[in-house]
Amino acid sequence: MSGDLPLSSLDPAERAELRSTIRAAADESGFPSRARDLEGQSADPGLDADLWRVLAEEIGIAGVGLPDSAGGLGGLAEILDVAEELGAALAPVPYLTSTVLAGQILAACGDAATPYLERIVSGQIAAAAVTDRAGRLGEITCTSDGASVTGSVRFVAYGTSAAFHVVAALIGDDVDLFIVEAGDAQAHPLPSLDFTRPSATVTFDSSAATRLTTGGSGAAALEYGVDIALLATAADQLGGAQRCFDMTLEYIKFRRQFNREIGSFQAIKHRMADALMLVEMARSGLDRATWEHSDQPSVDAAVVKAWCTDAYNAVVAETIQLHGGVGFTWEHDAHLYFRRARYDAAFLGDATYHRARIAALLDW
pLDDT at 134: 63
Domain 220-361 is in which class?
mainly alpha
Lowest mean pLDDT among 128-132, 209-213, 217-221: 128-132
Is residue 185 over pLDDT 90? yes
Q: What is the DSSP letter of 30?
A: T
Q: Provide, rounded to the nearest whole percent, the portion of the chain with pLDDT above 70.
A: 98
Neighbours of 280 (CB within 10 A): 14
pTM higher than 0.85: yes
**pLDDT tens by residue, 186-202:** 999 999 999 999 999 99
**pLDDT tens by residue, 120-159:** 999 999 999 987 766 677 789 898 888 999 999 999 999 9
Q: Tell me how far CA of residue 322 lies from CA of 194, 256, 271, 335, 360, in angstroms.
A: 22, 12, 9, 13, 39
Task: State the average pLDDT over residues 213-230.
Answer: 94
**pLDDT tens by residue, 261-278:** 876 688 889 999 999 999
In 131-283, DSSP assigns E strands to 139-142, 148-157, 164-171, 174-181, 186-190, 199-208, 210-211, 256-257, 260-261
More confident residue, 101 or 172: 101
Quote the crossing angle between the two packed helices 297-322 and 218-254, to the nearest 10°: 30
φ, ψ for residue 151, nearest 5 deg: 140, -170
Is residue 1 over pLDDT 50? no
pLDDT at 2: 39
Task: State the average pLDDT over residues 337-355.
Answer: 95
- Give the pLDDT band (50/70/90) at residue 171: confident
Lowest mean pLDDT among 35-49, 228-242, 308-322: 35-49
Task: State the average pLDDT over residues 338-349.
Answer: 96
Neighbours of 180 (CB within 10 A): 24
The two domains 12-124 and 220-361 share their CATH topology (first three levels equal): no
Domain boundaries, the chain: 12-124, 127-214, 220-361
pLDDT at 71: 94
Inter-residue contact 71 to 64 (CB < 8 Å) = no
- The rounded mean pLDDT for the chain is 92
CATH 1.10.540.10 given to domain 12-124: yes
**pLDDT tens by residue, 57-73:** 999 999 999 999 999 99
Q: What is the DSSP letter of 138?
A: P
Q: What is the DSSP letter of 102?
A: I
Inter-residue contact 207 to 148 (CB < 8 Å) = yes
Domain 127-214 is in which class?
mainly beta
Q: Is 220 exposed, middle or buried (0-12, 13-18, 19+ CB in 10 A)?
A: middle
Cβ-based neighbours of 99, under 8 Å, separated by 6 or more = 61, 62, 63, 64, 65, 66, 120
pLDDT at 135: 67
